[in-house]
Amino acid sequence: MTTGLIPGAQPPEPRPTSARPPHQRSEPDHGAAQHVDDRPRSFVITARAAASFEPVGRSVATARSFVRDTLQGWGFADIVDDAVVLTSELVTNAVVHAGTHADVLCLRTENGVRIEVSDRYPEREIPVQSAAVTMGSPDREGGRGLQLCAALAGRWGVEYSPTHKNVWFQLDLPARPVGTRTAGPALPAELLPVADGRIRVAVVQIDRGGAISTWNEDAEELFGYAADQVTGKPLTDLAAWPQTPGTSTGIAEALRLSRWEGSYGIRCADGRVTPVYASHLRIRDTSGEPSTICLLVRDHERAVLQTPSRAPATDTATSADGQSNDPFDAFIGSPAPDDLDGLLQRTVERARDMLDGDSAFLLLATDDETELEVRASTGLPSARQRFARVPVEAGPGRYGSARMPAVHEDLTAVPGAVPLLNGTGMRSVVTVPLKVEGRLTGSLGVAAEAPGRYSNEEALRLQFAADRIALAVESARLGELERLRRGSLSFLVEASDLLAGTLDRDQTLALMAQMTVPTLATWCAVYTIADQASEPYLSYVLHEDEELIDGIKSLLSKIAPPDPVPTPGARVWTTPGETAHQAALRSSMRSLGLTGGPIRQIASGMGPTLAVASALGGETVVLPLVARNRVIGMLTLGKPTDEHFRQEILELAEDLSRRAALALDNARLYSERTAISQSLQRSLLPPELPHIDGVEVEVIYRAAGEGNEVGGDFYDLFPISDGAYGFAIGDVCGTGPNAAAVTGLARHALRLLAREGLSGPAVLERLNSAILDEGARSRFLTLLYGEMRPQEDGSAELKVVCAGHPLPLRLRQDGTVEAAAEPQPLLGVMEDLELYEQTVTLDPGDVLLCVTDGVTERREGTRMLGDDGLADVLTTCTGLTAGAVAARIMRAVERFASDAPSDDMAILAMRVPEPHKD
């Protein structure tokens, strides 16, 4: 259901129509009078409320509640029941029989209400009423809604459009003033109220269970039921009670009050509702059982029972020139505060002064009207109460409901009746609701230390004041709420950006705490849960005073963590505050020597404990950190002593906790996958290089990409047998994990095949077949493979096969550089390869440099290092060790371009050292 309420709106624009004029049904002249509104719509619409209902059965009950709530909020209690009956029938026709959405529009005028029910089935016909108008059986469905309109509405009609059928009816208010309470002087006889020949006062007694136990003769005459027909039945079965919007408060609650007076209706035996004025008095019978005596008269005879009241002296104020001032200004004063807190504080102070009370308080309702939040008070410990919450609906020990005015003459007779006043010394209290368009927006109360200070007269005066300021308070509250929501949105956007900017777990925890302190809370603690079998672990603690962090962390580590409940929303956790207070008490007693130990100075060891107790002494709430349907931790927020969280802050913290939970879980997943990836990648790298007598070997390896330790380039150096060593440097097409998979295959296959005694070409041919066997996962591979045997004369003999790889370069002692092999086909492309090996001898002082194409293809714009550039760098390395040669080559490659390398790079340098001279 969607609704909209527009107070003070202008008359609606005419509905769109087809080429033909809207069709209206009117009764033939020979039938009962049926009124059709054929006059122009010139009445003034003062408010409207609209709702749309889905084509499901439950929408009928929802529509009834919507109309009842709307009309009751407008003060139209006298016509509520007729409007609800008619709306129920028309909405049933739309959503049940026609199967379309139903649109309900309520229009308030100065004299009554007009209700329109539209459906989206325009081709249906309406029944033509015959001369003899009869409702027939109540079980008959066809046309009953329109017949009821004819019977109950002052005017009604039907309008057609190409897309809608609109049935409307209008109910007029009775001419009498409803609910007026007044007392007047003696009047002449001709001016006295007119009543029937005999005034009948129904006396109905209700037992403690709400059932009728006594039903006198006047009740039988007024309502048509014999006593034996109703005895034992609940009065709620007969009462047509005007419901307050959004609440179940009704006559059952009113019957439990000590005294109540007002109007409602009684459904008579003939089905009609008779408006009555009632006076209820709660008594105890001779056996001590509570019961309620109800005196009922017809509503127009209310003067018989109505209690006269004096007009409030402060309702209006008159200026010196005789002009009446605004009642709101008369109560609040002019100019009125322009901020919500100032307006609320001025309100409670004026209310206290108006009723000569000792204290006053004002509570604002939450959006769902289930709780009231303390926002202003005077004469009460405001620091302890501010932002505290109490339920709107309470047990019978309270005053029934915050939606009704209530007076407590002595709170000691009903302990806990008004939770806000517990322990304050207040004995009597009067509370009244703040309502806007029938919706509960708050509660205003005045209390006194003496019992019996307030009666219904003071309740009426306070209610009048509450009615004057309710709209201003609600407007200011909505303005504050809008500002808070804009700030909350900005806060969440910034928080999301910060949390999305890191995948480090520890940094995410720190950001979570730093964003909540001090913006949302005074201190914060984050608990994490590794897995479902693990207990919550205290991972991070932050307080706006850094000196208290260690004390809070120490105290929290000694108590059991909160339960990891996945239920969303904040829940109060009392353990930290209780534990802190107990620790402070024990510390104080030890300091005073009250535990049997030696007397110590009060200052020694006592200060930090008391400071921690004060920091944790306020309200503490826990919000679950739920990510991917699993509780991964808890976010704990706390306030110092006697402070409470506002609902808006808790809602903002809940939004933040959802974002933080996802960020924390993403960081966890990233850390786990990074650890797995690095472990797998390290398994692809060769172990430590073997020591080769008579040959220096150095390797430098750089994998492209963040977090990659192994890419498509690889190297290896391993012993074969009989003093021979195999070495290899290769490049798999591509980079990253996919290329690394082929890297692992190539490196392990080389070791296995070489140790089988195969020659270099045979090793590479078999490796080529293995790569091709990978199918779609295969990648072509360039590879330089060789076998090295140190010689007794100090040289080293190398047998080399260069399969599509950059040629190895040989640096001689005289500084000349030359290629040490010839190019041959690469691996992983063709099945049949004819490879051959070449023999190279490294004399003492010679260097063999092997690199991958990530070195030679290093670019800066259109420039590329290339083979010639690499050879130029190598010529400068004469006389350097293998390690120095590799380092100089890598340094030259890095300096060649300013950008980070985009390709994997591997450098293998082998040098035969010169013999030492004596």
- Whether residue 805 is predicted with pLDDT greater than 80 in this model: the reply is yes
Between helices 575-591 and 549-557, what is the axis angle to 10°?
Answer: 110
Note the pLDDT of residue 851.
Answer: 94
Residue 836's pLDDT is 93
Shortest CA distance to 727 belongs to which of 705, 747, 745, 742?
747
Q: Is the peptide bond before 913 cis (omega within 30 degrees of 0)?
A: no
**575 to each of 407, 589, 619, how far by Cα in Å?**
37, 21, 10
Question: What pLDDT is stored for residue 511 in this prediction?
Answer: 86
Q: Which two tokens stand for residue 171?
A: 């109910």
Question: Are the C-beta atoms of 461 and 314 separated by less than 8 Å?
Answer: yes
**What does the DSSP assignment read for 598-637?**
----TTTTTHHHHHHHHHHSS-EEEEEEEETTEEEEEEEE
Cβ proximity of 153 and 169 under 8 Å: yes
Do the Cβ atoms of 428 and 453 come closer than 8 Å? yes
Percent of the chain with pLDDT over 70: 78
Residue/partner pairs of 718-725 with CB below 8 Å, 24 or more apart: 718/686, 718/690, 718/751, 718/754, 719/690, 720/754, 720/755, 720/787, 721/755, 721/757, 723/789, 723/790, 724/787, 724/788, 724/789, 725/690, 725/692, 725/787, 725/788, 725/789
Phi, psi of 541 (to 5 degrees): -135, 135
Listed residue (478, 475, 466) closest to 328, CA to CA: 466
Q: What mean pLDDT comes out for the span 587-607? A: 52
Distance separating alpha carbons of residues 721 and 245, to the nearest angstrom: 94
Higher-confidence residue: 599 or 576? 576
Average pLDDT over residues 546-569: 84
Mean pLDDT of 197-221: 90
Q: pLDDT class for 848, splitting at 50, 70, 90?
A: very high
More confident residue, 547 or 194: 547
Whose tokens are 């591509």? That residue is 734
Alpha carbon distance 346, 359 (integer Å): 13
Angle of helix 340-354 versus helix 456-500 axis, rounded to 10: 160
Is the separation of the CB atoms in 43 and 110 below 8 Å? yes
- CA–CA distance, 405 with 605 (Å, rounded to integer): 53
Q: Around Cβ 221, how many Cβ atoms within 10 Å?
A: 11
- Tell me how many degrees the CA angle 400-406-407 measures, rounded to the nearest 5: 125
The separation between CA 634 and the C-alpha centre of its own chain, rounded to angstroms, equals: 16
Residue 786: per-residue pLDDT = 93
pLDDT score recorded for residue 215: 94
- The mean-pLDDT minimum among 323-327, 853-857, 872-876 falls in 323-327
The lowest-confidence range among 324-338, 370-384, 813-827 is 324-338
Residue type, 99: G
- Locate all alpha helices (DSSP H) within 74-132, ordered by sequence: 80-92
Alpha carbon 722 to its chain centroid, in Å, reads 73
Q: Which two tokens stand for residue 733?
A: 């097409």
Nearest to 201 by CA among 219, 180, 185, 214: 219
Predicted pLDDT of residue 695: 92
CA distance 483 to 488: 8
Q: What distance in Å separates the CA atoms of residue 502 and residue 668, rounded to the nearest whole number?
A: 11
- Select from 315, 331, 294, 664 the least CA-distant residue to 469: 331
Residue 4 pLDDT exceeds 60: no
Q: Which residue has the higher pLDDT, 183 or 546?
A: 546
Amino acid at 480: E
The C-alpha atoms of residue 53 and residue 129 are separated, in whole angstroms, by 28
**In the prediction, which pLDDT does 183 show?**
40
Of the listed ranges 40-44, 82-86, 368-372, the one predicted with least confidence: 40-44
pLDDT digits (tens, 9 = 90+) for 601-641: 433 444 456 777 777 777 888 989 888 888 888 899 888 86
What per-residue confidence (pLDDT) applies to 177?
46
pTM, two decimal places: 0.46
- Is pLDDT above 60 for 31? no
Cα separations (Å) of 672 from 247, 374, 660, 824?
Answer: 52, 47, 18, 43
Q: How far apart are CA 312 and CA 320, in angstroms?
A: 20
Minimal CA–CA distance to 887: which of 757, 700, 758?
700
Q: What is the dihedral of CA 423, 426, 428, 429, to 10 degrees?
A: -80
The secondary element (H helix, E strand) that includes residue 117 is strand 112-119
H/E stretch holding 11 reads none
In this predicted model, what pLDDT tens digit does every residue of 299-314 receive, in sequence order?
Answer: 888 888 877 654 444 4
pLDDT > 90: what percent of the chain?
18
| Model confidence at 349: pLDDT above 90 | no
E strands, 724-846, are 724-732, 781-790, 796-803, 809-811, 817-819, 838-842
Rg of the chain on CA atoms, in Å: 45
Mean pLDDT, range 883-901, rounded to an integer: 90
pLDDT at 40: 42
Q: Helix %, strand %, coil % for the chain, to 5? A: 35, 25, 40
Q: Taking 70 as the threshold, does the pLDDT of residue 55 lie above it?
A: yes
**Interaxial angle between packed helices 647-684 and 736-754, expressed in degrees from 0 to 180 and rounded to the nearest 10:** 20
**Mean pLDDT over residues 584-613, rounded?**
57
What is the residue-averaged pLDDT of the chain?
Answer: 78
Instruction: Using pLDDT thresholds of 50, 70 and 90, give the confidence band for residue 386.
Output: low
Could you tell me the pLDDT band of residue 289, with boundaries at 50, 70 and 90?
Answer: confident
Longest Cα separation, the chain: 148
pLDDT tens-digit series, residues 241-282: 765 444 445 677 778 777 778 888 899 998 888 999 898 888
pLDDT in the model for residue 579: 79
What would the mean pLDDT of 110-135 be, rounded to a whole number?
A: 65
Q: How far is CA 229 from CA 214, 219, 295, 372, 469, in A?
A: 11, 12, 19, 42, 47
Region at 232 (left for phi over 0; alpha for psi -120 to 50; beta for the rest):
left
What does the alpha-carbon distance between residue 357 and residue 378 come to, in Å, rounded to a whole number?
10
Residue positions counted in the chain: 918
**pLDDT band at 75; cut points 50, 70, 90:** confident
List pLDDT tens digits, range 716-758. 999 998 889 999 998 888 666 667 777 778 888 899 999 988 9
Which of the two residues, 784 and 78, has the higher pLDDT score?
A: 784
Q: What is the pLDDT of residue 253?
A: 75
On the question of pLDDT at 787 being above 90, the answer is yes
